[in-house]
Each structure stands twice: as structure tokens, then as C-alpha cells.
């Protein structure tokens, strides 16, 4: 995150009020917590603008499917038979869930993403170092749509813009909710969907999000989302850190060790660096021509 981007964000009206920045500072990077934001009504984030964005993004940056999914899914969910523009413009009745990925490919959205992350950059960089790969994702969901149980490799703040939803979050790094072998498969090219067990529910923490609410979700914290009775629009701003990349590479190296018949210990959570296994995996990639 460059100094000029930080300066531009700090010189404008802040999206994250002072109290939210204080909460974020006290909990980042390992504590899931709610925040507040001032982005409701932003012209870039209205449905018509989002439909145009979806039509402008390359196909690989758009994912959408039926919204009436179970919490746990096996493989890629079923499509809805519509285009992305039709899905978004008719989201109230299309029974769909859509995500626009890497919105920073579009210049106005790139500016918005950098302004938002720029407000928090001093806190982020003091804890987890340089901000790497800032990315933005927008979720548009029909009433009652479900985002199935999964995890993500990024540090993530989700800002609720329209409607409401309940996100249920589980402890990151706990093999009860995401076995080590599943982490290892994901970090070597597998999917991010996790096996759901109803017995997990009592261990999750429910966060109800209304417009102006946001939530920070730690790296690889399992979660699922249940939309409310109205259309929901959310913006997710994400970034990586050297720690998150090291954790991912250490997981990948553990899969190599399992192939050798070993039973490796899982990487440690922040602030452990996991550098030894991470460096070993990077050497393996170079030797195999994949690094």
C-alpha cells in the first residue's frame, strides 16, 4: 500500500469511523469482530452499477448460482440459467447468489478499494507487515440465499450495504471445523468448501449484519452466511500478508510430507512465522518448475 494511497484515503471522509478503527486495532488479525462503515448509498454500489460491472468483468471474475443451497455443499453449486446482468437486475426474484471478483480490475472500483484499505493501512502494517494483493469482491444475494460453509485465505472485511444477513464464524486453525488435510488440499489447488456437521453449530458465533455494519473475518476462519428476507448487497475488501502466504505454503509443504508417510504438525497461527516450512515449500516449487 503506497504512501500516496494512504494519504488520499486519510484526506477524504472516512468510511470507517474512529470507533471502528479502534475496534479493528484491538482485534486484528486474529479476532472476528464487528465494525461500522459509511458506504451505504455509494453510487458505485447500487444494483444498476453492479449489473454493468458484472457484464464488464471477464467471465472468470464472475460467479453466480442458485441461492437455495444447503449450508454444506459437495462440489460446484448448480447454476441459475441466467446471465450475470439478468441475475443482478432481477436479484429480488432470481433466487440467486452472485459474486463479482477482483473488482479492482475496473478503475473506479480500484480507487474505492484502495481508499478503504488505506484508512486501515497503518494498523494492518504495524501488525502483519506490508499489505499484499489487495482485492475486492461484491456479493449480491436474493432473499433467503445461503453462502455455504467455507474458508478464505485472505484477511477480510465484509461491509453490509443493503438488506441483512447472518454470518456464523468458527475458530480459525481448529481442526474440528476444518481438518488439516482439507487445508492442505485447498492450498495445493483444491476447493474451499468444507464438510458441514450440524454439531458444529453450537461452536459458531453469529453476527447479524445490517446496512452500515461490517465484520472482520480472520484468515481461514470457517464460516457460512444466511441471507435475510430481502435483497442483500455486501462488499468484501481483502488483502494478504507475508504471514498468510507463509501459513499457506506451510500447509502445502505438510501435504508433501504426508506423501512421504509423515504426520506433520499444522502451522501455528499468528504471530508465529511458519517460515521454515514455507521456505521449504518454495524450494520444492522451484525444483519442480512451478515456482
What is the residue extent of each domain of the chain? 18-184+192-240, 245-288
pLDDT at position 237? 98
Other CB atoms within 10 Å distance of the CB of residue 48: 10
Q: What pLDDT was estimated at residue 53?
A: 98
What is the predicted pLDDT for the residue at 6? 43
Q: Which regions in the chain score pLDDT beneath 70?
A: 1-12, 69-70, 72-80, 291
Residues in the chain: 291
Which CATH code is given to the segment(s) 18-184+192-240? 2.60.120.650
CA 281 to CA 34: how far, in whole Å? 35
Listed in sequence order, the DSSP H helices in the chain are 3-11, 18-27, 47-56, 84-89, 107-128, 180-186, 242-259, 275-288
Q: At what angle do helices 242-259 and 275-288 cross, to 10 degrees?
A: 70
Distance from chain centroid for Cα 288: 30
State residue 8's pLDDT score.
41
Buried b / exposed e along 93-106 (16+ C-beta atoms within 10 A) = ebbbbbbbbbbbbb
The pLDDT of residue 38: 96
Note the pLDDT of residue 40.
Answer: 97
pLDDT value for 7 = 38
For residue 272, the number of C-alpha atoms closer than 13 Å in the C-beta half-sphere is 12
How far lies 276's CA from each of 149, 168, 179, 283, in Å?
31, 33, 22, 11
Cα radius of gyration (the chain): 19
pTM of the model: 0.90
Q: Residue 133: helix, strand or coil by DSSP?
A: strand
Q: According to the model, what pLDDT value does residue 56 have? A: 96
Q: Within a 10 A sphere around the Cβ of 274, how many other Cβ atoms?
A: 22
Q: C-alpha grid cell for residue 103? A: 473488482
Q: How many CB atoms lie within 10 A of CB 8?
A: 14
Q: What is the DSSP letter of 267?
A: P
Q: Which residue has the cell 502494517?
A: 125
Q: Residue holding cell 432470481?
A: 94
Amino acid at each position: 500500500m503506497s504512501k500516496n494511497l494512504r494519504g488520499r484515503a486519510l484526506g477524504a471522509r472516512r468510511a470507517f469511523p474512529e470507533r471502528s478503527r479502534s475496534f479493528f486495532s484491538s482485534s486484528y488479525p486474529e479476532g472476528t469482530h464487528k465494525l461500522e462503515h459509511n458506504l451505504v448509498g455509494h453510487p458505485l454500489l447500487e444494483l444498476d452499477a453492479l449489473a454493468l460491472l458484472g457484464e464488464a468483468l471477464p467471465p472468470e471474475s464472475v460467479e453466480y448460482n442458485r441461492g437455495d443451497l444447503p449450508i454444506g455443499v459437495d462440489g460446484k453449486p448448480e447454476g441459475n440459467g441466467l446471465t450475470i446482468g439478468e441475475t443482478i437486475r432481477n436479484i429480488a426474484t432470481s433466487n440467486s447468489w452472485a459474486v463479482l471478483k477482483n473488482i479492482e480490475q475496473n478503475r473506479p472500483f480500484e480507487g474505492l478499494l484502495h481508499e478503504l484499505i488505506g484508512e486501515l493501512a497503518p494498523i494492518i502494517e504495524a501488525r502483519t507487515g506490508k499489505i499484499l494483493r489487495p482485492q475486492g469482491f461484491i456479493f449480491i444475494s436474493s432473499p433467503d440465499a445461503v453462502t455455504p460453509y467455507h474458508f478464505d485465505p485472505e484477511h477480510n472485511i465484509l461491509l453490509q450495504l443493503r438488506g441483512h444477513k447472518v454470518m456464523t464464524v468458527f475458530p480459525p486453525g481448529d481442526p474440528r471445523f476444518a481438518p488439516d488435510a482439507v487445508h492442505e488440499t485447498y492450498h495445493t489447488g483444491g476447493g474451499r468448501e468444507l464438510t458441514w456437521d450440524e454439531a458444529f453449530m453450537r461452536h459458531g458465533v453469529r453476527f447479524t449484519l445490517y446496512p452500515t455494519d461490517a465484520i472482520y473475518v480472520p484468515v481461514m476462519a470457517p464460516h457460512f452466511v444466511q441471507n435475510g428476507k430481502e435483497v442483500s448487497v455486501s462488499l468484501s475488501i481483502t488483502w494478504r500478508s507475508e504471514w498468510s502466504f507463509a501459513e499457506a505454503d506451510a500447509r502445502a509443504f505438510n501435504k508433501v510430507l504426508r506423501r512421504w508417510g509423515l504426520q506433520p504438525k499444522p502451522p501455528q497461527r499468528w504471530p508465529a512465522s511458519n517460515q521454515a516450512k514455507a521456505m521449504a515449500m518454495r524450494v520444492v516449487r522451484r525444483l519442480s518448475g512451478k515456482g
